[in-house]
Amino acid sequence: MKLDLTLLLSAAIGAQTVFGTPIRSRTPYLTKETHNVPRKWSKLGRAPGDHKLHLQIGMKQENFDELDRQLYEVSDPEHSRYGQHLSFDAVNELVKPAEESLDLVHEWLLTNGVSEFSYSPAKDWINIYVDVASAERLLDTEYSVFQHEDGSVLVRTSTWSLPAHLHEHVDTIQPTTSFMRTAPKKTDWVQFAEPFTPAGYKPPTNETIAKVCRLFTVTIECFQTLYGTLNYHQKVPGINRIGFNNYLNQTPIRPDIFSFLEKYRPEAAPNAYAFRSIEIAGGPAAQYTPLTLEQAAGDDISKEANLDAQTILGMTFPQPVYSYSTGGSPPFIPDINTPTDTNEPYLTWVNYVMGQEDVPQVISSSYGDDEQSIPKSYADRVCKQFAQLGARGISLLVSSGDGGLGDEDGTSCYSNDGKNSTTFLPEFPAACPYVTTVGATMQFEPEVSALREPGIGPDGNTHGFYASGSGFSYYFPRPSYQDKVVPPYVSALNGLYDGLYNKNGRAYPDVSAQGLYFAFWWNGTESSISGTSASCPLMSSVISLVNDALISSGKAPLGFLNPWLYSKGYQGFTDILNGSSHGCGVTGFPVTKGWDPVTGLGTPVFPELVKLAGC
Ligand X SMILES: *[C@@H]1O[C@H](CO)[C@@H](O)[C@H](O)[C@H]1NC(C)=O
Q: Which residues are annotated as a binding site?
A: 575-576, 594, 596
**Cβ closest to ligand X, residue 200 vs residue 460:** 200
CB of 151 to ligand X, least distance (A): 18
**Cβ closest to ligand X, residue 134 vs residue 443:** 443
102 binds ligand X (CB under 6 A): no
Cα angle vertex 577, ends 574, 583, to 5°?
120
**Cβ closest to ligand X, residue 137 vs residue 211:** 211
Q: How far apart are CA 54 and CA 280, in angstroms?
A: 14
- The H or E element that residue 68 is part of is helix 64-75
489 backbone dihedrals φ, ψ, rounded to 5°: -60, -45
Per-residue contact flags (x/-) with ligand X for residues 397 to 416, judged by CB under 6 A? -----------------x--
The residues pairing with 245 across neighbouring beta strands, listed in sequence order, are 324
CB of 243 to ligand X, least distance (A): 28
- The H or E element that residue 316 is part of is helix 303-316
Do 257 and 321 touch, CB atoms closer than 8 A? no
Cβ within 8 Å of residue 424, ≥6 positions away: 405, 406, 413, 471, 472, 497, 500, 501, 583, 584
Do 111 and 85 touch, CB atoms closer than 8 A? no
**Cβ closest to ligand X, residue 420 vs residue 480:** 420
Q: How far apart are CA 544 and CA 581, in angstroms?
A: 28
**Cβ closest to ligand X, residue 63 vs residue 578:** 578
Q: How far apart are CA 391 and CA 560, in angstroms?
A: 7
The residues pairing with 278 across neighbouring beta strands, listed in sequence order, are 324
615 binds ligand X (CB under 6 A): no
34 binds ligand X (CB under 6 A): no
Cβ within 8 Å of residue 251, ≥6 positions away: 277, 283, 284, 285, 286, 287, 302, 305, 323, 325
Catalytic residue among 120, 144, 528, 533: 533
112 binds ligand X (CB under 6 A): no
Decide if 308 is catalytic: yes
Q: Which among 300, 302, 196 has a CA at the least distance from the CA of 244?
A: 302
200 binds ligand X (CB under 6 A): yes
206 binds ligand X (CB under 6 A): yes
**Cβ closest to ligand X, residue 26 vs residue 452:** 452
Single residue of 10, 42, 337, 420 touching ligand X by CB under 6 A: 420
DSSP for 148-189, please give it: ETTS-EEEE-SEEEEEGGGTTTEEEEESSS-----EE----E
Cβ within 8 Å of residue 3, ≥6 positions away: 30, 164
Segment 433 to 492, residues that bind ligand X, using CB under 6 A: 446, 448
For 208, counting Cβ atoms within 10 Å of its Cβ (0-12 exposed, 13-18 middle, 19+ buried), the class is exposed
**Cβ closest to ligand X, residue 133 vs residue 577:** 577
Altogether, the residues listed in the chain come to a count of 615
Stretch that binds ligand X, among 110-118, 206-214, 271-279, 395-403 (CB under 6 A): 206-214
Decide if 304 is catalytic: yes
CB of 233 to ligand X, least distance (A): 17
Cα maximum dimension of the chain: 87
Eight-state DSSP code of residue 481: G
| Count of residues engaged in binding ligand X, rule: CB under 6 A | 16
DSSP for 531-576, please give it: SHHHHHHHHHHHHHHHHHHHHHTTPPP--S-HHHHHHTGGGGEEPP
Cβ within 8 Å of residue 278, ≥6 positions away: 322, 323, 324, 325
Catalytic residue among 171, 308, 370, 427: 308
**Cβ closest to ligand X, residue 94 vs residue 576:** 576
Decide if 402 is catalytic: no
**Cβ closest to ligand X, residue 578 vs residue 587:** 578
329 binds ligand X (CB under 6 A): no
225 binds ligand X (CB under 6 A): yes
Single residue of 8, 98, 102, 209 touching ligand X by CB under 6 A: 209
CB count, 10 Å around CB of 545? 25
From residue 381, how far is each of 61, 350, 429, 465, 567 by CA, in Å? Answer: 9, 11, 11, 32, 27
296 binds ligand X (CB under 6 A): yes
Stretch that binds ligand X, among 289-297, 357-365, 468-476, 606-614 (CB under 6 A): 289-297
The residues pairing with 362 across neighbouring beta strands, listed in sequence order, are 242, 395
CB of 587 to ligand X, least distance (A): 14
Helix-strand-coil percent breakdown of the chain, rounded to 5? Answer: 30, 25, 45
Catalytic residue among 62, 304, 371, 380: 304
523 binds ligand X (CB under 6 A): yes
203 binds ligand X (CB under 6 A): no
Single residue of 102, 577, 611, 615 touching ligand X by CB under 6 A: 577
What residue ranges bind ligand X (CB under 6 A)? Answer: 200, 206, 208-209, 225, 293, 296-297, 414, 420, 446, 448, 523-524, 577-578
Residues taking part in catalysis: 304, 308, 533
